[in-house]
Amino acid sequence: MKDLHAEIDNNVKHALAEDIGAGDLTASLIPGSKELNASVISREDAVLCGVQWFEACFLALSSETTIHWFAKDGDAVQAGHKLCEIKGQARALLSAERSALNFLQMLSAVATQTKYFVDAINGTQAVIVDTRKTLPGLRLAQKYAVKCGGGMNHRFGLYDGILIKENHIIAAGGIKSALRKAQEIAPPGVFIQIEVESLQELQEALTAGASMVLLDNFTLNQLSDAVALTRQKTCERVTLEASGNITLKNVRQVAETGVDRISIGSLTKNIRAIDLSMRFRESA
C-alpha cells in the first residue's frame, strides 16, 4: 500500500477544510480555555476501522488532545461498547467531531461489510477482493478498511495492474491480440488479467496464455464449468475471479464452485455508516 500516513494527512486536511472553512462559528461560543472530555460509543456490532483518521482530525486542531482506545482497527466491537475516551481543548473537540466520526463510521462500515462476506465463505479456497468502485479521494482509506475486515486488495488504480475489459478487447482487435500487447508493455511485477463473458471467451483466453481471468456475470453452473475447463486446459496455475451480481445470499455458492477470488464492488460502494455516538462531559 502507498504511504498511508501521507494519505491520512491529505484526507483529514481536505475534510477539515471542507467542514470548518474560514472558522467554526458555533464553537466560538465556547471559551478558548475550556477543556472537555468525550467518549465514543458503538450503537451496533461492527468491525472497528479508521482509528488513525479519527485521531488525526483532533490532533490537526490541537496537538494537546489525548485519546485512549479500548479497541484497535480490525477488532470486533459490540453494541454499547466504549471505543475510546478523549480529552482536550473544547473548541478543537467540537470542531473536529463531525469529520472524525465521518471517517470512523464510514471505514468501520467497509470493514464490517467485508467481514460479513469473508465469514460467509469461510472454509473455501476463495478470497474476497475489492474493486475500484470507491468514494472519490478515499480509495486508499477504503482499501485499508477492506483489509481490516479480512479481505484483499485488487489493483489500486490504472497504474499498478492491467485489467483487459470488453472495450479494451474490442479496441485491441480481440482477446489474443489484447493479451499479446499487454504482455509486451507490462512493467515487471505488474499482473495482467482479462475479463471474459462466456466459456468460449475463457477458452480463447487460456489458449492465448492468460494467467488471470475475470469471469464476468457467470451463473453458478458456468462458474463450475469454467473451473473444470481451466483445470483441463492447462497444467499451469490460472487464477479465476468471479465478479458481478454477488451478494451475501449467494457468495458461499460462488466460492464453492472452486474460483480463487471473488471481487465485490459493494464493499466500498454501497455502504451504510456504522452508528457511533460521541458523548461530551465536563473535565474533572
Residues carrying an active site annotation: 98, 133, 165, 195, 216
**Residue whose grid cell is 458481478:** 244
Any idea how long the chain is? Answer: 284
Torsion angle, alpha carbons of 270, 275, 276, 281, to 10? 140
